[in-house]
Amino acid sequence: MSETRPTNAATVLERPPPLSLGSAQPRTLAEEQLQERPQRSASQGADYDVTVVGAGPGGYVAAIRAAQLGLKVAVVEKGSLGGTCLNVGCIPTKAMLASVEALSIARRGREFGFQTGDVVPDYGTMVRRRDRIVEQLRTGVAHLLKKNGIDLIRGAARFRTAHELEITGPEAAPDGVRRLTTGNTVIATGSVCSRPPIPGIELEGVVNSDGLLALPTIPKSLAVIGAGAVGLEWAEIFGELGSRISILELEPRLLPPADAEVSTELGRAFQKKGAELLLGVSVERIERTSELLSVVYRRSGEPERRVEAEVVLVATGRWPFTEGLGLEAAGIHPERRSIPVNDQMQSRVRGIYAVGDVTPGPLLAHVASKGGEIAAEAIAGHSARMNPRTIPACVYTQPEVAWVGLTEEEASERYGAVRVGRFPFRNLGRAIAGGLRDGFVKVVSEPQYGEILGVHMIGAHVTDLISEAALGMTMEATVEELFRTVHAHPSLPEALHEAALDAWDRAIHKG
Ligand SMILES: Cc1cc2nc3c(=O)[nH]c(=O)nc-3n(C[C@H](O)[C@H](O)[C@H](O)COP(=O)(O)OP(=O)(O)OC[C@H]3O[C@@H](n4cnc5c(N)ncnc54)[C@H](O)[C@@H]3O)c2cc1C
């Protein structure tokens, strides 16, 4: 890599300095692993070296990494192991999406050369399958905590001081209240569904993403307020199950943070499936009209209009959750509900770290988990840091959407005339063979050295394909390094290879 290329020091995992527990600095990964054998006695007289509050993907990963590093660790959880992600977020939605994807393939039997007769969804079985998967993974998290020698304390934690926690709950202690002292605390209390001030939001049939999981039957019609990942994935699920879908979004396009071209293509895909897209509208109120709910909305300067639906999903984002945590007793002051942290997940109070949805930044499970690893390593004296530039974002609609880095618009603002390569899946052998022609890959690169600034994908399996781009960006790769990499044929990642070539005007199969 040229020395004159812009560098991004934060992408480099520096050698860890000596562990705060007094051990010598490891020199190789093998030595580091030897050094990380659990020791399990808290330093400085506290009950624990690290207490993690919340056992979602941020918290349980922080706990496991801290235990790997030889620290004595407790996790406090007031609800279910796995947090939002496992119980009401990533996993249940992906289980339902897998069911509807299978359904849509079965419906395309004639195209692939088989007959199925009528393909009818069995919603009850799908829900039971989803719940079994969640239960299986919850058991897995419990097993991992146990295997790593982590104490799991059931109950709600509250700070008494920066190094003392009170845990309340029938299982926390015989009298329901337990106190413990801790050298460090990792706050991983996650987020809850936001509740915008829309009149009528309290009406029966108006639900958030948690409530949608509890629906006993498939609604005939669903209005989704908010076209972010959560709203769109549920629109995908119920659309495929036969609900009439309307999507209302304040911004003029679906998935506002995505690259504009990707968002337009996704909009086309939803329209092709019959969804009604009401973009650039503000929802004024929700009313009940006979059997249905009526969502009243307005476009700037236009009269009110309404769309009717049996169920209304409010998917307008999530709020960091710190209620009942007693942050003031620890000297922590949230800003716009979340806990500010540096790139090692340290809050402004020594010994208190925060990770995941409770911190500013994208509300994603892998961000929470990476934050958990980093916090644990920072506590142990290592110096890994969060690099916000290389975090992938995925949306599991059909077609899927995935991106990492800057959009073309953002990159142009920052770097001027960027070089962009595109490649459509319809030109790719594997995609044609698999009936997966929709979508494209787009690579945005810095004009002088060709460093990859962003990769944007829409199409089948792109949520898997994006990891190659994330690795490339973590290593500050150039488009040249991407296209010099040999990609197997026939395979979907060839689209990334061709898009990288196209950024240098040398795509082979573009046509
Ligand atoms: C429908 C939906 C789909 C999603 N899909 C994806 C996806 O596909 N990919 C993705 O990356 N992200 C997805 N997310 C987001 C992802 O779920 C969150 O980013 C992730 O769960 C955040 O992890 P966390 O550890 O910060 O918090 P959480 O998972 O929210 O866990 C926080 C935990 O802390 C506990 N807790 C809170 N306060 C206390 C206390 N005082 N004492 C003890 N315990 C406490 C809670 O009970 C909870 O278990 C989705 C979210 C939703 C709602």
Spans of the chain below 50 pLDDT: 1-39
Strand ranges for 130-216 from DSSP E: 151-154, 156-161, 164-168, 177-187, 191-193, 206-207
Ligand 1 near 372 CB (within 6 A): no
Which of 464, 461, 503, 465 has the alpha carbon at shortest distance from 481?
503
Q: How far is the CA of 190 from the centre of ligand 1 (A)?
A: 5
Ligand 1 pocket: which of 84, 316, 462 to mutate (most atoms within 8 A of CB): 84
pLDDT digits (tens, 9 = 90+) for 321-334: 999 999 999 999 99
Is the preceding omega at residue 490 within 30 degrees of 0, hence cis?
Answer: yes
Q: Which pLDDT score is estimated for 41?
A: 64
Token code pair at residue 305: 């209009």
Q: Which pLDDT score is estimated for 70?
A: 97
341 vs 362: CA distance, rounded Å:
14
Q: Which pLDDT score is estimated for 44?
A: 72
Ligand 1 near 356 CB (within 6 A): yes
445 vs 277: CA distance, rounded Å:
32
442 vs 457: CA distance, rounded Å:
6
Q: Which pLDDT score is estimated for 290?
A: 83
Ligand 1 near 156 CB (within 6 A): yes
Q: Which pLDDT score is estimated for 173?
A: 82
Q: How far is the CA of 108 from the centre of ligand 1 (A)?
A: 35
Minimum CA distance residue for ligand 1 atom 48: 83
Q: Can you tell me whether residue 35 is helix, strand or coil?
A: helix
Pairing between β-strand 419-424 and β-strand 393-395 as defined by DSSP bridges: unpaired
Q: Which pLDDT score is estimated for 40?
A: 57
Q: How far is the CA of 373 from the centre of ligand 1 (A)?
A: 16
pLDDT digits (tens, 9 = 90+) for 131-168: 999 999 999 999 999 999 999 999 999 999 999 999 99
Confidence (pTM): 0.92
